[in-house]
Amino acid sequence: MCVGGGTSATTALRFNVVAKCTTSRARVAEMTLPHSVVDTPVFMPVGTQGTLKGLIPQQLVDLDCRIMLSNTYHLGNRPGEEVLLAAGGLHKFMNWDRSLLTDSGGFQMVSLLKLCEITEEGVNFESPYDGSKCMLTPERSIEIQQAIGADIMMQLDDVVDATHTDAARFEEARHRTVRWLDRCITAHTRPDKQNLFPIVQGGLSEEKRRDCAEQLTKRAVPGFAIGGLSGGEDKDTFCKIVKVSAESLPDTKPRYVMGVGHQVDIIVCVALGSDMFDCVFPTRTARFGSALVFEHPGDLNLKKAKFRTDFRPIDESCNCSTCANYTRAYLHSVVTKENSACHLVTVHNVAHQLNLMKRARESIKEDRFPDFVAEFMERLYPDHQYPAWAENALKGVGINLRHSESKAVEKS
């Protein structure tokens, strides 16, 4: 049963915290959803149209990916609600028997701002496909998401770019997000099969974030998201908003920071008490020939000539099929030239993110998360020139990278 905040209600999610870091706010939990048990902290690959570019669902299963993300707005346009209903939902349509999370379409208020008009009723979009008009209301968003059949649905929220300068617009969006949540809850008719997460808004104001979280936690919902970030705000402010938002949400329910995919950002957010993350970055950067690694500088630009005769795998510690079968030299010869390269590097980058989360979870269970973070950061920054924002955020939850550095010197 889902507890913590709001009144009791039927839910399709169980969230069991199994370990906590005794220094920071990091934690490990088992999140049981209708289609899979998801271990958190978790990174969710993004398959906007029900597919990751370059991969098939079975390959995600082979990587032990338990949950992926798709987008309501785009799926509502193509293939459309009618086709998804006829297929029996997106799980059957794409042959994926594990969990799905769907974005409500709210982010398109930012990404397609020039093509939409926002009112109290909803968002009136001009289709980027054929120019036709489409009104996406909270009710319509839930209707499409129920046709998709996602394990976790996001409320339609009023999203404002974090770098926006109009304080009145942030205030309007914060209150409208709460009103739209109530409309989503009313429209949600399958709480025993699908979960609805509200989204904390409030711009870059800590006070407004706390107030929004307070309003949302009065509703009987199984989890929460932190939205309106990763839009160009400075990283110090980003971390402060994630921290205050996470602290304002119940310990007994999952916390999802939307749009976070860079590995340092993820680890910092884990330390701040967040459980779920998604981003197109790992798959998008793969299409440009960039492979993610744990060593400095964090990625390999395989297009560079230095890899022409490098016969090592991308990462010798990685167990993905790309690293088991192909060398950097081979990948160098095909990246950005052959479609197979996109496939091969995408497999690795998704595996990298999943391995990062697995290592973080193991360290939390063994109560050595601060040491894990220090080792992780030192591999990425061997000169100890850590990003000030990351160092400050970690210090704010008890993880002192310089203290760990001093201990390493003492041991030597």
Return d(Cα 22, Cα 397) in angstroms, integer: 10
Return d(Cα 22, Cα 370) in angstroms, integer: 9
Residue given tokens 């974005």 in the structure block = 103
Contact 210, 204 (CB under 8 A): no
Nearest to 26 by CA among 322, 361, 278: 361
**H or E stretch at 144:** helix 138-148
Question: Within 10 Å of residue 115's Cβ, how many Cβ atoms?
Answer: 17
Is 278 tagged catalytic? yes
Find the catalytic residue in 157, 158, 278, 315: 278
Joined together, the tokens standing for residue 5 give: 């905040």
Return d(Cα 83, Cα 229) in angstroms, integer: 33
Return d(Cα 146, Cα 189) in angstroms, integer: 8
Phi/psi region, residue 133 (left: phi>0; alpha: psi -120 to 50; beta: rest), is beta
DSSP-assigned states of every residue in 331-351: HHHHTTTSHHHHHHHHHHHHH
Nearest to 307 by CA among 270, 345, 356: 345
Q: Are strands 195-197 and 152-154 parallel, antiparallel or unpaired?
A: parallel
Nearest to 16 by CA among 7, 25, 28: 28
Is 310 tagged catalytic? no
Amino acid identity at 115: L
Cα separations (Å) of 33 from 30, 181, 213? 10, 21, 23
CA atoms within 13 A on the CB side of 164: 21
Q: Which residues are catalytic?
A: 103, 278
